[in-house]
């Protein structure tokens, strides 16, 4: 399990992939079973979808795993493509080393400026290395950019965690996964704040009970706990940032909450299958 910080708040990324935590569980015989020494090139893992609530000018952070089998990323340049809602940029972060490949995290930052519910089905990344140029789509994303009239600084999310994943297995497309979220909310205003509901505008995952009836007094903090039900119909991994509706001084406002990343592990046998499908392994 990997821990990271996004938007200056601590969250739990339920990522296993082929990270250090997983590697410690593999025996020597298991590692010897899968020989990737003949694989060349990059594998950009693009089986993702997500929903992000934001305001114009907010940074949205997407993380994508990249496997480097040829040490190509020592010299590389990256470009985000097919994003016309504002500015964007990307960078690569080395994460782990294995005998036959290097594991990296591709950090994609989107800064939308256009208000609306935007579905990005062609968001792409181009990575130019010393050997070649790799170009691929990086999943399906929904950006829910709110009007700034719904923004108010009276309520802030101090920290947030996503944990207690009950079960998620993409081999069983009919099941539900339940993920408990906790958000520490602070009323920085001069009057009480009334929480109304938390929302994710995506058909594949939703809050079990979106409606809320809680009051936060001025200069007080509460911990909001909510469960997400997530269907695995799309059989993709998920990155999600919900939005919270609340009333302050008789007017309704919106607060984007904390980003969570939910993913199933990618053991060596599945990595081998992915490489075969992409004709990178015989």
Look at 98 and 119; give whichever has higher pLDDT: 119
The predicted structure's pLDDT at residue 271: 83
21-34 pLDDT, tens digit each: 333 334 444 555 67
pLDDT tier, 231 (very low <50, low <70, confident <90, very high otherwise): low
CA distance 14 to 161: 11
Domain with CATH 2.60.40.1470 in the chain: 149-261
Least confident of 75-79, 97-101, 159-163, 206-210: 159-163
The verdict on domain 149-261 having CATH code 2.60.40.10 is no
pTM: 0.82
Look at 221 and 18; give whichever has higher pLDDT: 221
The predicted structure's pLDDT at residue 84: 96
For the chain, how far is it from start to end, CA to CA, in angstroms? 31
**Structural fold of domain 35-148+270-277:** Immunoglobulin-like (2.60.40)
3-class SS letters over the chain: CEEEEECCEEEEEECCCCCHHHHCCCCHHHHHHCCCCCCCCEEECCCEEEEEEECCCCCEEEEEEEEECCCHHHCEEEEEECCCCEEEEEEEEEEEECCCCEEEEEEEEEEECCCEEEEECCCEEEEEECCCEEEEECCEEEEEECCHHHCCCCEEEEEEEEECCCCCCCCCCCCEEEEEEEEEEEECCCCCEEEEEEECCCCCEEECCCEEEEEECCCCEEEEEEEEEEECCCCCEEEEECEEEEEECCEEEEEECCCEEECCCCCHHHHHHHHHHCCCCC
pLDDT tier, 133 (very low <50, low <70, confident <90, very high otherwise): very high
The predicted structure's pLDDT at residue 260: 79
- 21 exposed, middle or buried (CB, 10 Å; 0-12, 13-18, 19+)? middle
Burial letters for 192-229: b for 16+ Cβ neighbours within 10 Å, e otherwise? ebbbbebbbebebbbbeeeebeeebeeeeebebebebe
- Check whether 46 has a pLDDT greater than 60: yes
232-281 pLDDT, tens digit each: 444 567 888 899 999 999 999 999 998 877 766 577 777 888 888 888 88
The residue-averaged pLDDT of 89-103 equals: 88
Look at 209 and 251; give whichever has higher pLDDT: 251
Burial letters for 249-281: b for 16+ Cβ neighbours within 10 Å, e otherwise? eeeebbbbbbbbbbbbebbbeebbeebeeeebb
The predicted structure's pLDDT at residue 226: 80
């Amino acid at each position: 399990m990997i821990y990271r910080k996004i938007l200056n708040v601590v969250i739990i990324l339920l990522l296993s992939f082929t990270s250090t935590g997983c590697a410690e569980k593999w025996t020597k015989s298991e590692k010897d079973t899968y020989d990737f020494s003949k694989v060349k090139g990059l594998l950009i893992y693009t089986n993702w979808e997500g929903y992000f609530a934001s305001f114009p000018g907010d940074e949205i952070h997407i993380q994508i795993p990249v496997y480097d089998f040829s040490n190509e990323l020592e010299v590389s340049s990256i470009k985000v493509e097919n994003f016309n809602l504002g500015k964007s940029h990307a960078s690569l972060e080395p994460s782990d080393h294995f005998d036959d490949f290097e594991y990296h995290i591709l950090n994609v930052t989107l800064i939308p400026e256009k208000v609306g519910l935007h579905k990005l089905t062609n968001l792409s990344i181009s990575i130019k290395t010393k050997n070649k140029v790799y170009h691929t789509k990086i999943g399906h994303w929904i950006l829910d950019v709110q009007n700034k009239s719904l923004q108010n600084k009276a309520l802030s999310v101090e920290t947030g965690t996503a944990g207690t994943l009950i079960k998620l297995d993409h081999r069983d497309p009919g099941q539900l996964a339940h993920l408990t979220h906790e958000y520490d909310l602070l009323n920085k205003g001069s009057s009480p704040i009334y929480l109304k509901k938390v929302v994710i505008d995506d058909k594949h995952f939703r809050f079990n009970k979106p409606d809320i009836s809680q009051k936060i007094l001025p200069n007080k903090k509460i911990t909001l706990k909510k469960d997400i039900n997530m269907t695995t119909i799309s059989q993709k991994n998920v990155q999600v940032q919900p939005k919270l509706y609340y009333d302050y001084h008789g007017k309704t406002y919106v607060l984007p909450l904390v980003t969570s990343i939910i993913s199933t592990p990618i053991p060596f046998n599945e990595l081998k299958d992915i490489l075969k499908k992409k004709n990178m392994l015989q």
